Structure 1
């Protein structure tokens, strides 16, 4: 089981530090983006994770919120800064934990990508073997005209597979280089391949 990114109570302290560093107020979405940036895109908290904690910080008088059009701006209070100062050593430990979490999450993403690429190669190899077997079969039992049409369709299918593999591989590498290749993307790829195989 994957351990949590933040230990209990650490995310709220980290939110305070982000607000203090900004030197200005931040929208909830900006805080989510800032956390995503700190983790290189390997961890992006949901609104359902961030907003309840901001609400709790407001209740404790550590942040204030002000309406800015349709958005809400959160600012750290003097009490919030005092808590940060009092827990400075703990915050240093959290920063070290974030670094470890980024490495761990990056390893998990890398492993997922490798698994997906192995699965894709296996699927393509299996499809090629099946196509060759089908071609051998049709050469012996299907009349010439149908045999020619079947081989034409086979060539078209193999070209599509090659184009798909190149396109997906390029997209996966580009996302991995940007740091936004998620485990969900890899899972969606695997599910899509399974669905295609199931329809053949």
Structure 2
């Protein structure tokens, strides 16, 4: 039964960018956002030269994120949130894939036998399997090129944003993450006003 399920779900997976049937399966199983690799937490589709993120373009092609996640897990067994943070760090904070994209992909990779998951409390840690390592080896040239593009994007973004501004933006993100779950409606409005006013002041500079 599992082999038949595996075949039906992933029969087009090895065919490069033709992922329509597989994406539809993920969307039926996990919801409308699953399988959409162009959007991340920052909500944009940008990125120089069509690669993606909030700078203009598409972040990942249909098959790219699979290999990004697989390569990161091969370097260090990780759980889903760690993978999201690792991708964000590799891209210099410009983009982080949403959990609605990453977790269905992890489930798919596990069902393909490319990774194995071990429950650790409420989390599940993933490690690469021999089959996953083989898939990376067979596609090494493509994976190397993909991570070279990621490095290029991070460097290009770093040139465009002064370090002091990057630090200030990260401080804002951290403050929001720490407060987000405990804010009342009134406090949410207050935080929104602060951010909106700051944006207006920045727009007036120059």
Corresponding residue number in structure 2 for 1:156: none
Which one of 70, 75, 82 corresponds to residue 21 of structure 1? Answer: 75
* TM-score, scaled relative to structure 2: 0.53
- Bigger Cα Rg: 1
CA RMSD of aligned residues (A): 3.3
Partner Cα separation in structure 2 for residue 15 and residue 50 of structure 1: 8
Matched, 1:180 2:153: no
Q: Is residue 95 from structure 1 mapped to residue 147 from structure 2 by the alignment?
A: yes
Aligned to 1:49: 101
- Residue 190 of structure 1 and its aligned partner are, at CA, apart by 6.5
Higher relative contact order (CA 8 A, sep 6+): 1
Residues 42 and 106 in structure 1, CA contact (< 8 A), matched pair in contact too: no
Where do residues 128-147 of structure 1 align in structure 2 (5 Å cutoff)?
none
Residue in structure 2 matched with residue 81 of structure 1 by the alignment = 133
Normalized per residue, which structure has more helix? 1
- What residue in structure 2 maps to residue 192 of structure 1? 197
SS at match of 1:75: strand
Equivalent-residue separation in structure 1 for 2:200 and 2:120 (angstroms): 46
Q: Conserved in 1, the CA contact under 8 Å of 2:80 and 2:103?
A: yes
Structure 1 distance, partners of 2:71, 2:104, is 17
TM-score for both structures, normalised by structure 1? 0.54
- Measure the CA separation in 1 of the matches of 2:149 and 2:172: 21
State the aligned residue count: 130
Aligned to 1:126: none
| Structure 2: gaps spanning 5 or more residues | 1-45, 47-55, 177-191, 202-206
Q: Which runs of 5+ in 1 are unaligned?
A: 114-171
